[in-house]
Amino acid sequence: MAPAVITRDDKGGATMRAVRIDEPLKIDGRLDEEVYRSVPGAGDFIMQEPREGEQATEQTDTWVFFDSENLYIAARCWDDHPERWVVTELRHDNGNIIENENLSVSLDTFHDRRNGFMFQTNPLGALREQAFTDEVNINSNWNTIWQVKSGRFEGGWTVEMAIPFKSLRYRGSGPQVWGINFRRMVKWKNETSFLTRVPRAYGHNGIFRVSSAGTLVGLETPAQSMNLELKPYLVSALTTDHAAAAPFSNRFSPNVGFDFKYGLTRGLIADATVNTDFAQVEEDLQQVNLTRFSLQFPEKRDFFLEGQGIFNFGGTRGGGGSGNDVPILFFSRRIGLSQGQSVPVVAGGRLTGTVGKFGVGALDIQTDDKLSAGAVATNFTVLRLKRDILRRSNIGFLATRRTPAASQTASNAAFGADANLAFFRSLTINGYYSRTETPGARGDQSSYRGRFDYAGDKYGLQVEHLLVGDKFSPEIGFLRRSDFRRSSFGARFSPRPKSNRLIRRLNWEAAYDYITDSRWTRVENRQLSGAFQIDFDNSDQWTLDYTHDFEYLPRNFQIAPAVTVPLGGYDYDTVRMTYELGQQRRVSGRLQVATGTFYDGNKKEANFTSGRVALSARVSIEPGLTMNWVDLPQGSLTNRLMTARGIFTPSPRMLISSLMQYNASDRTVSSSVRLRWEYVPGSELFIVYSDGRNTSEAMVRGLVNRSVAIKLTRLLRF
């Protein structure tokens, strides 16, 4: 039975009622309609940080309304000291919104206590939306259509959201029971609270832990509509590339295409793309790599990000950026990119969603050839099937096929089964077994992994074993290294000092990694590490860590053009100190210095990353600096990489950004300017300029490449 507005149990759980309204709300953030006076808000949030289980120090009142088209979320956030607010971010979907005063709502629309959607805003009315699967796989690049406006009053700030039912996925039409939770963050006092009680061991990700969320009743969704979206685009580009095999200047290339989305059911969505273009995608940030393994860059293209979570396999994330040795069986950046160049995507289709207790994902993409990128016409196929078991666990199967293979002969296939088991609040067990098939390959084409992870607030423990065979090769995936076996162990102790106004938490961590070749015949890496970290009450962090490494080089390693480290075994030690300035400060970022031995020599580092200078709520600068000094018997090298991003946000749906990167090692400068304007929700205009220049005396100085692109999209919903 539906409660009057909200009822609570003795464990901190809540059941909340959605209220039907006859007239649509005016989304202006004022909360001045009669319904706010006649329907009491649901409040009494429960603190997660700094004192778990206590009542929040600032009152928050929330409402859930609905009509035949939209779900409405509203809140009144009381605050005794609005002059202390941290409000510096207006960019759509930017992670810094969580570093402001902010409010989030999560919706478990299938009420499976596993998957859902999150919507977030701050007192400026910024928009941030995310989809999540299995509570831990978060797709921060998922986008949909919704509206939000914030307002201010003498005692705090207010917010109103309108989320069309067409923007959500759920079981069907009619009466619904969903999961729901709200998270309020009062950044100036570093306090986090939820509508229901959420363990502080979950941290900020507690908003995605819908197994701890409340229950939303009284909601009725509209009858099934056509649920069709068509998004055509027009693009024109002017490109110069003096580094191409056949250099060219000012090549004009107009293009048209479209994306198509159709809801087979409210939970199962079919997507198609024709002549896909990614001219609007921002360039990757450069990285300094002093290892012999490949770097991994995250996926940024919208088409591949939609429904991405369903393809995550074996505890890994298909979007990339994880930076560890665990193979990724499906990594979408292998599609449409080759040798740092874009490859034409002719057409593709995808099916993602939920059918009962099953998660389904299928993808088929055809790309064209491109001589300068060494790419031939290729077909990429991926199939994913998951089955929910127990309360928060699942088992699944994933298969991929690439025709032709990267060698441009025959084809490559990969397949595997995985299990992700979650017990109690903080215990997870992940595992997978997979194989690849590459014609002509002789050797072990298998890989498997088992991981035990206890992540409590005070204690943590991780144990893992991973094998990657010498011929294991998932060619629509990402493989940082092959032919190895890794066993690792980690432990953490994190007490919270009582009655300490300066320090919130202390962390002691220790870990040991032992890596051999896949046949146990040779030790390739050993690493013993320890770290001590202080989490300050104002959200700053200080960390001191030490690592002792052994690395065996099976062959000579060219670490720089004129510096080669000979094969053999090497021991080295590193001491690193890091101080992270919280974003409640006008200047924030991560300062890091390190020193130690490196192969048979020495290495020093000095970095400033995640930097931000907030000039105003709409204008900011994000500087970055990475410097490495390496002194080896074979020679010396210095790496200096400087980045600077300028940001101007006139409104939540318009962004002008610029990025400049200078790599002193190879004496190159790249710069770009990008305008993104969502002139109608879901419809966008992009204007992008980028160029790369060489400043080296040893080469022809000047312009290397340049492009100007204009892209217009229009979303049509039926």
Residues 617, 97: Cα–Cα separation, whole Å? 11
96-100, 232-236, 302-306: which has the minimum mean pLDDT?
302-306
pLDDT in tens, 697-718: 554 568 888 999 999 999 998 8
Task: For residue 687, tell me if it sits in a domain.
Answer: no
Q: Which residues are within 8 A (CB) of 26 and not within 5 positions of it... i.e. 6 or more apart? A: 33
370 & 470 share domain = yes
Check whether residue 29 and residue 156 sit in a common domain.
yes
Q: Which of 221, 255, 283 is the last residue of a domain?
A: 221
Judgement on whether residues 213 and 310 belong to the same structural domain of the protein: no
- Cα gap 696→457, rounded to integer Å: 52
In a domain, 695, yes or no: no
Classify residue 88: in a domain, yes or no: yes
- Provide the pLDDT confidence category of residue 282 given band limits of 50, 70 and 90: low
pLDDT in tens, 450-472: 999 999 999 999 999 999 999 99
Give dist(CA 87, CA 122) in Å, integer.
7
Question: What total number of domains does the chain contain?
Answer: 2
pLDDT recorded at residue 354: 87
- 330: tokens are 């499906």
Distances (CA, A) of 126 to 129, 572, 657, 686: 10, 47, 16, 20
* Any domain includes 708: no
Q: Can you give the three-state secondary structure of 267-314, one letter per residue?
A: CEEEEEEEEECCCCCCCCCCCCCCCCCCCCCCCCCHHHHCCHHHHCCC
pTM for the whole thing? 0.87
Is 178 domain-assigned? Answer: yes
- Decide: 376 and 402 in contact? Cβ < 8 Å: no
Residues 318, 212, single domain; the answer is no
163 or 319: which carries more pLDDT confidence? 163
**pLDDT, average across residues 265-276:** 86
pLDDT tens-place string over residues 110-157: 999 999 999 999 999 999 999 998 888 888 878 899 999 999 999 999
Residue 59 resides in a domain: yes
Q: Which two tokens stand for residue 563?
A: 């510096």
Is 601 contained in some domain?
no
Domain that holds residue 390: 294-480
- Confidence label for 665 from pLDDT (cuts 50, 70 and 90): confident
Rg of the Cα trace of the chain? Answer: 26
Token pair listed for 310: 């369903």
Position 109, amino acid: T
Backbone angles phi, psi at 201, to 5 degrees: -60, -25
The predicted-structure confidence for 496-552, as pLDDT tens digits, reads as follows 998 888 999 999 999 999 999 999 999 999 999 999 999 999 889 999 999 999 999
pLDDT band at 318 (very low <50, low <70, confident <90, very high): low
Q: Which of residues 446, 480, 514 is at a domain's end?
A: 480
Q: Of 198, 221, 244, at which residue does a domain stop?
A: 221
Domain match, 308 and 442 both: yes
- Per the CB < 8 A criterion, the answer to whether 607 and 627 are in contact is yes
- 344 and 458 in a single domain? The answer is yes
Whether residue 457 sits in one domain with residue 321: yes
Identify whether residues 337 and 437 lie together within a single domain. yes
Q: Is the pLDDT of residue 297 over 80?
A: no
What token pair was written down for 49? 């940080």
Shared domain for 170 and 313, answered yes or no, is no
CA distance 312 to 300: 16
Is 250 part of a structural domain of the chain? Answer: no
Helix %, strand %, coil % of the chain (to 5): 5, 55, 35
The Cβ of residue 298 has, within 10 Å, a number of other Cβ atoms equal to: 17
Residues 214 and 77 in one domain: yes
**CA pseudo-torsion sign 651, 652, 656, 662:** positive
Residue 110's Cβ-count burial label (10 Å; 0-12, 13-18, 19+) is: buried
> Where does residue 259 rank: exposed (0-12), middle (13-18), buried (19+ CB within 10 A)?
buried
Q: Rounded to 10 degrees, what is the CA torsion of 552, 557, 562, 563?
A: -10
Q: What is the mean pLDDT of the chain?
A: 90
Q: 125 or 441: which carries more pLDDT confidence?
A: 125
pLDDT at res. 3: 60
Residues 434 and 298 in one domain: yes
Q: Residues 132, 134, 136, 137: is their CA dihedral positive or negative?
A: negative
CATH number of the domain that residue 32 is part of: 2.60.40.1190
Note the pLDDT of residue 697. 59
Q: Please choose, from the candidates 107, 91, 269, the residue with its C-alpha nearest in 3D space to the C-alpha of residue 183.
A: 107
State yes or no: pLDDT of 320 exceeds 50: no
Q: Are residues 193 and 322 in the same domain?
A: no
